[in-house]
């Protein structure tokens, strides 16, 4: 029992006193499988492969993905190091900035490492209340409090996660108001109760322990059970297991998306175990581990999108992680539809062109075809793609953005067909893509050579909207003008209807279509200019026997 007025010595811990993770030395060229055997034998959490530090967790991850033959150094992390006498405060600052471990350097190399457990790093280490108050309407704040209360009534804890947390912390107007909620407990049960409370409907996704609540007042609210993920093959969808919020944040893509706000109190405590705040301040995009892109290669597309939208640049480790993932193509378990979904999101961005060009230069499209080459023509087409899509929207054309992107990416016909199929196109949409790719050049040449407007219209009349957009994207000035003119034509250019020409004496059947087509061409070429002239044309047509 402490004695009153007694002076007790202050305990000041140094870094060496905090070491709780062993480091084992290994040759610089040691393989993943051999390094993991050594880590288990020495009960080490870190392997020092020459000058590279490799976490045991990353070795386990690589082995489970079938990558035991890789050199361990390819999974190295830039762990911060301190001298044995460094203060506990310094170690805690490094861990709070997102370092998974802090290496304590001795005279003969690494003496060990310190984890957040030993340094007592708190889970929620800042208040986000002010940012929530400034960034969200009062009714949304009340909704968050309601969600937190419902979770507590179910003996769980709820957290706000995702892009909204990131945008709130960087002081930006949230790009979207849909809420992403994670629950330590049963997210699907909370979703049901929330739907009843808000008069909404719920759709559950059992495989991923998630549910979506559609509400008339707040839009969609996505609710997930806090979980960990295990990838059993490169590019495969993960298996999920319930876990705590710390594990849930560590399964995510980038540090700036691995933050959470607890909803159990009005303080709205921020949980940022991986240094997302610091990365936002430094405008840095950082993956959570060296195999992040191998586990889910679609993160490469997401990285380009976030970098452009948020003004972030990948750090060295993230760049190396992407290079490693692209060296390992192809990914048998990665479906083309998942890549198509990422392309669709990119094409909705204001900087879609630069994002696509960045992906092309990086070699990311090799995920569609290991032999893909990013050529000058495809670079030119991708750069102009957003303008072509904007043109199509302006003309009211229903154009599949991913389909047009697929055409822009494709070069040789055999490779084009494989690329279209890889992205999930089949049946009629696939036929349109193949026709546009195979015959677009010849059609453009015929358009350029056409004399009368009716000739141009006849060439374009059988084209699907996607083909028109493709012609506009790839054509020279005269072709673009012809396509733009055709897309802007009034479909009611002929005043008379089919019933009108029948009333004038044209027999029902194919003859009606023929006379209407003649009048349409005459209207386009300026030979007919009024309803009365059309009626006269029909009478002449009947008089000469059709």
Query: Which helix (DSSP H) or strand (DSSP E) does residue 53 occupy?
Result: strand 52-55
Domain chopping of the chain, boundaries: 15-119, 124-281, 283-371, 375-487, 498-543
Q: What is the pLDDT of residues 14-72, one digit of tens each?
A: 999 999 999 999 999 999 999 999 999 999 999 999 999 999 999 999 999 999 999 99
The CATH code of domain 283-371 reads: 1.10.110.30
Q: Give the contacts of 72 (CB within 8 A, at least 6 positions apart).
A: 26, 30, 31, 32, 34, 35, 47, 49, 52, 54, 59
State residue 272's pLDDT score.
93
Over residues 312-319, mean pLDDT: 96
Give the burial class of 427: count Cβ atoms within 10 A of its Cβ; 0-12 exposed, 13-18 middle, 19 or more buried.
exposed
Q: Per residue in 237-294, pLDDT tens?
A: 999 999 999 999 999 999 999 999 999 888 899 999 999 999 999 999 999 999 999 9
- Tell me if 15-119 shares its fold with 124-281: no
| Predicted confidence (pLDDT) per residue in 357-400, tens digit | 999 999 999 999 999 999 999 999 999 999 999 999 999 999 99
Task: Give the residue from 301, 285, 293 showing the smallest Cα distance to 231.
Answer: 293
Q: Identify the CATH homologous superfamily for domain 124-281.
A: Beta Polymerase, domain 2 (3.30.460.10)
Q: Are strands 102-106 and 81-82 parallel, antiparallel or unpaired?
A: parallel
CA distances from residue 228 to 65, 116, 189, 318, 472 in whole angstroms, order as listed? 16, 19, 19, 22, 47
User: Which residue in 118, 76, 72 sits closest to 94, CA to CA?
Assistant: 118
pLDDT, mean of residues 95-108: 90
Instruction: Report pLDDT digits (tens) over 203-231.
Output: 999 888 999 999 998 999 999 999 999 99
Query: Element (H or E) spanning 239, and its range?
Result: strand 239-242
**H or E, element range at 260:** strand 260-262
For residue 280, what are the CA distances in angstroms to 77, 169, 312, 518?
A: 20, 9, 8, 64
Mean pLDDT of 390-411: 96
- Sign of torsion over alpha carbons 94, 95, 97, 99: positive
DSSP-derived secondary structure letter, 21 = B
Q: What is the CA radius of gyration of the chain?
A: 31
Distance CA 429, CA 446 (A): 24
Instruction: Measure the CA angle with vertex 521, ends 516 and 522; round to 5°.
Output: 95
Distance CA 270, CA 273 (A): 10
Q: 414 pLDDT band (50/70/90 cuts)? A: confident
Reading the block at residue 402, the tokens are 């991913």
The encoded tokens of residue 131 equal 């940012």
Residue 322: closest CA among 311, 307, 337, 341: 307
Whether the pLDDT of residue 6 is over 60: the answer is no
Report yes or no: 245 and 182 within 8 Å, Cβ to Cβ.
yes
Fold of 15-119: CBS-domain (3.10.580)
What is residue 222's DSSP assignment?
E
Distance between first and last Cα of the chain: 115
For the chain, give the mean pLDDT. 93
What whole-number distance in Å separates Cα of residue 35 and Cα of residue 67?
12
């Amino acid at each position: 029992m402490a004695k009153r007025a007694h002076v007790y010595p202050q305990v000041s811990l140094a870094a060496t006193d905090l070491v709780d993770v062993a480091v084992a030395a290994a040759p610089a060229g040691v393989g993943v499988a051999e390094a993991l055997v050594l880590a288990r034998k020495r009960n080490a959490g870190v392997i020092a492969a020459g000058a590279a530090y490799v976490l045991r967790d990353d070795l386990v991850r690589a082995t489970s993905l079938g990558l035991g033959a890789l050199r361990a150094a390819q999974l190295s992390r830039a762990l911060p190091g301190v001298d044995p006498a460094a203060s506990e405060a310094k170690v805690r600052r490094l861990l709070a900035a997102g370092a998974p471990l802090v290496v304590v350097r001795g005279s003969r190399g690494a003496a060990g490492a310190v984890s957040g457990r030993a340094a007592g790093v708190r889970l929620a280490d800042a208040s986000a209340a002010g940012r929530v108050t400034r960034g969200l309407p009062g009714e949304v704040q009340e909704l968050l409090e309601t969600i937190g209360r419902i979770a507590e009534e179910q003996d769980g804890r709820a957290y706000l996660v995702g892009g909204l947390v990131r945008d709130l912390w960087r002081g930006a107007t949230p790009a979207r108001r849909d809420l992403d909620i994670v629950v330590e407990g049963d997210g699907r049960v909370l979703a049901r109760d929330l739907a009843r409370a808000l008069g909404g409907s719920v759709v559950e996704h059992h495989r991923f322990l998630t549910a979506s609540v559609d509400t008339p007042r707040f839009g969609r609210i996505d609710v997930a059970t806090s979980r960990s993920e295990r990838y059993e093959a490169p590019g495969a969808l993960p298996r999920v297991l319930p876990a705590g919020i710390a594990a849930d944040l560590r399964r995510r893509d980038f540090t700036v998306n691995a933050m959470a706000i607890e909803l159990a109190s009005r303080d709205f405590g921020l949980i940022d175990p991986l240094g997302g705040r610091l990365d936002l301040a430094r405008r840095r995009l950082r993956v959570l581990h060296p195999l992040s892109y191998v586990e889910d290669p679609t993160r490469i597309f997401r990285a380009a999108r976030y970098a452009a939208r948020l003004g972030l640049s990948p750090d060295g480790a993230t760049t190396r992680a992407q290079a490693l993932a692209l060296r390992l193509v192809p990914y048998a378990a990665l479906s083309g539809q998942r890549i198509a979904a990422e392309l669709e999101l990119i094409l909705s961005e204001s900087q879609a062109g630069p994002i696509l060009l960045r992906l092309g230069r990086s070699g990311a499209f090799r995920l569609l075809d290991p032999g893909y080459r990013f050529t000058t023509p495809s670079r030119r087409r991708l750069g102009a793609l957003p303008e072509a899509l904007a043109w199509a929207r302006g003309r009211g054309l229903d154009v599949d953005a991913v389909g047009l992107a697929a055409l822009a990416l494709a070069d040789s016909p055999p490779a084009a067909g494989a690329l279209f199929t890889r992205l999930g196109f089949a049946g009629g949409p696939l036929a349109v893509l193949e026709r546009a790719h195979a015959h677009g050049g010849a059609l453009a040449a015929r358009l350029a050579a056409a004399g009368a407007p009716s000739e141009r219209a006849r060439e374009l009349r059988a084209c699907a909207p996607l083909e028109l957009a493709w012609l506009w994207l790839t054509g020279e000035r005269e072709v673009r003008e012809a396509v733009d003119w055709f897309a802007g034509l009034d479909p009611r250019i002929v005043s008379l209807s089919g019933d009108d020409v029948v009333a004038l004496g044209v027999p029902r059947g194919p003859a009606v279509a023929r006379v209407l087509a003649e009048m349409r061409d005459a209207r386009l070429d300026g030979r007919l200019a009024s309803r009365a002239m059309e009626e006269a044309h029909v009478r002449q047509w009947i008089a000469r026997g059709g």
